Amino acid sequence: MQRRSWIATTVVVLILITAGGIGALWSLRQTQKSEFIKRLTGGDPARAPTLMIKYGCASCHDIPDLHGPSGRVGPSLHALSERVYIGGVTTNTPENLVRWITNPKALSPRTAMPVTGISEAQARDVAAYLYVHQ
């Protein structure tokens, strides 16, 4: 009986160590991804949630990990980094995403997405958030 107990304890400990290692690796990868996206977009994803509510993004879009309104007028912004096109009209690059966020009508005059008045710097924060949060 003691041998079974020892084996069971060992298995549990190994599972916990493995899970902890996986969690630590995931956390490290998220940090690295966030830093890479910050450099790529020139924005800070931590500032974006307030901006997305202030400028009405969340009124029209379902936005990953954003607590607050969750609109259904525009498309969901989940997995945006995996899409080929932004707004169906331009390739998905950080610069194009910032252009789309600041002035979508310049890229697609008939789009329903409004020009909100968000600045380029603020749009970079939003772009960083959308690329980091899946």
Euclidean distance between CA atoms 104 and 109, whole angstroms: 7
Please say whether the beta carbons of 126 and 54 come within 8 A. Answer: no
pLDDT along the chain (134 residues), means of 10: 64 57 54 84 95 94 87 91 93 96 97 97 97 87
pLDDT at 11: 61
- DSSP 8-class letter at 61: S
pLDDT at 70: 81
pLDDT at 71: 85
pTM assigned to the model: 0.78
Please say whether the beta carbons of 64 and 134 come within 8 A. Answer: yes
CATH of 2-132, one of 1.10.10.10, 1.10.760.10, 3.40.50.300, 3.30.450.40: 1.10.760.10
The domain segmentation of the chain, as residue ranges, is 2-132
Instruction: Name residues whose C-beta falls within 8 Å of residue 40's C-beta, 6 or more positions apart in sequence.
Output: 94, 128, 131
Q: What are the b/e assignments for 3-26, b being 16+ CB within 10 Å?
A: eeeeeeeeeeeeeeeeeeeeeeee
